[in-house]
Amino acid sequence: MESAIRESADTELKNNIQYVMQELKDSSIIRETILFGPEGIIIASTDDKFTGTNVSYKDLGSWDAFTAEKDSKKWINARVNRLNNTIDIYVAVNSGPVGKLGYLAKTSFPFASVKEAIHEVYKPVAMVIIIVIMANILFGYVLSKTVLGPIKVLNSVTKIIAEGDLNVRTRIETRDELEELGKTFNYMTEQLIKMKERAENANPLTKLPGNIVIHEEITKRINDKKKFTVIYCDLDNFKAFNDKYGIGKGDEAIKMTAEIFKESVKKTGGADDFLGHEGGDDFILITTPDKADALAGYITSEFDKRIRNLYSQEDISKGYITAHARDNSIKQFPIMTISLAGVTNEIRPVSSYGEVTNIAAEVKKRAKAEKGSVFILDKRQS
């Protein structure tokens, strides 16, 4: 109807609308269709006797409902006409300016046609429902195989790992994100094993990684062809201090040294720096060559300041303590100092962990021969 109104001149409007009416009437779906003009005059109808007459009293309520809806977007209204056993639907057609009604079409559907239409709708709806149910069954099966199955596997493996068995692995072959998740899960388990080994190897006093992890870390940097500097630490006169003040005080000195090393990495080191504790008073710090001097400077300076707090005021005043030497003789031992020996592959190549430790042993002897806290870096080219 809107198309007929838009495309028709005033003289052709009635005939064109009437043609549309006839098509509707021939469909046998509707009982009656009426088109009201802006003034409430019937322009066209499936029953010619109504054409040209005014809106009837039975349609007046619906007409008023549309014309009263100023500045609104009302375009449809429906009511049940029990007298004629029809459903009357009023639709605004080609509405005029805001607040004015253009045309109003009334279409009456007999109850029988509505029931028949609903019955016809049931068939495709029922078919759609059947298809949806079958699709859901198929989707559920695919989901159980491709998603729920792998999730159950991951859940089972997680419980096994939680019980302490880190040797279990997942095997998911779905060629999608779930398979990638399975691989990540296996990688996580391998990292847990390494973390467990590190925890078991950690020094109980300082909680720092021990010999095994230190070995792995140095070897990894050698294999990765990274430039590094390894700083070995040894406390001078520690045994004499431990003998005189006792194991408790000796442990305090060890923990204090560990804290100084940690602070040095935090304040002057790099993100990849590694700190380990071989045992006793032997610490190892792995850093990059450009950070070594700053780290060593912080460690020696802070150690000299803090170590004095562990001595009695009397011994600090004397500048030494009296204790048994290794040969069981009584000797005087100066206040503890720290000797740092550096080994780097920046100047000459280093091919193994054993080579690093051998060079460090030589440099450490030179460092301990110096007075006070020192850092000596091996700069030999061969």
What would the pLDDT profile of 96-105 be if each residue is shown by its tens digit? 555 466 788 8
Q: Mean pLDDT, to the nearest integer, of 255-274?
A: 95
Q: For residue 376, is pLDDT > 90?
A: yes
In CATH terms, the fold of domain 2-111 is Beta-Lactamase (3.30.450)
- Give residue 310's pLDDT: 95
Q: Mean pLDDT, to the nearest integer, of 51-65?
A: 73
Q: For residue 118, is pLDDT > 70?
A: no
CATH 2.120.10.30 fits 204-377, yes or no: no
- Give residue 144's pLDDT: 66
d(CA 231, CA 253) in angstroms, rounded, equals 19
Q: For residue 202, is pLDDT > 80?
A: no
d(CA 62, CA 43) in angstroms, rounded, equals 17
Looking at every residue in the chain, the average pLDDT score rounds to: 84
% of the chain with per-residue pLDDT over 70: 89
Q: Which residue has the higher pLDDT, 201 or 161?
A: 161
Q: Mean pLDDT, to the nearest integer, of 268-294?
A: 94
- Give residue 34's pLDDT: 85
Whether this model's pTM surpasses 0.75:
no
Min mean pLDDT across 8-12, 215-219, 306-310 is at: 8-12
Q: Mean pLDDT, to the nearest integer, of 322-347?
A: 91
CA distances from 93 to 11, 105, 110, 137, 242 (A): 19, 7, 22, 46, 103
Per-domain boundaries in the chain: 2-111, 204-377
Question: Would you call 78 helix, strand, or coil by DSSP?
Answer: strand
d(CA 32, CA 89) in angstroms, rounded, equals 11
% of the chain with per-residue pLDDT over 90: 40
Q: Mean pLDDT, to the nearest integer, of 337-345?
A: 96
Q: Is 334 exposed, middle or buried (0-12, 13-18, 19+ CB in 10 A)?
A: middle
d(CA 54, CA 76) in angstroms, rounded, equals 20
Q: Mean pLDDT, to the nearest integer, of 86-106?
A: 74
Strand 103-110 versus strand 229-236 pairing type: unpaired
- Give residue 71's pLDDT: 46
- Give residue 199's pLDDT: 63
Q: Which residue has the higher pLDDT, 148 or 187?
A: 187
Q: Mean pLDDT, to the nearest integer, of 300-324?
A: 94
What would the pLDDT profile of 214-258 be if each residue is shown by its tens digit? 999 999 999 999 999 999 999 999 999 999 999 999 999 999 999
CA dihedral 148, 153, 154, 155 (to 10 degrees): 80
- Give residue 109's pLDDT: 83
Residue 202 token pair:
């950690």
Q: Is 204-377 the same fold as 2-111?
A: no
Q: Which residue has the higher pLDDT, 115 or 142?
A: 142
What would the pLDDT profile of 136-181 be if each residue is shown by its tens digit? 888 777 766 666 677 777 788 788 877 777 777 877 777 777 778 8
Q: Mean pLDDT, to the nearest integer, of 253-276?
A: 95
CB atoms within 10 A of CB 346: 15
- Give residue 69's pLDDT: 57
- Give residue 145's pLDDT: 65
Q: For residue 1, is pLDDT > 80?
A: no
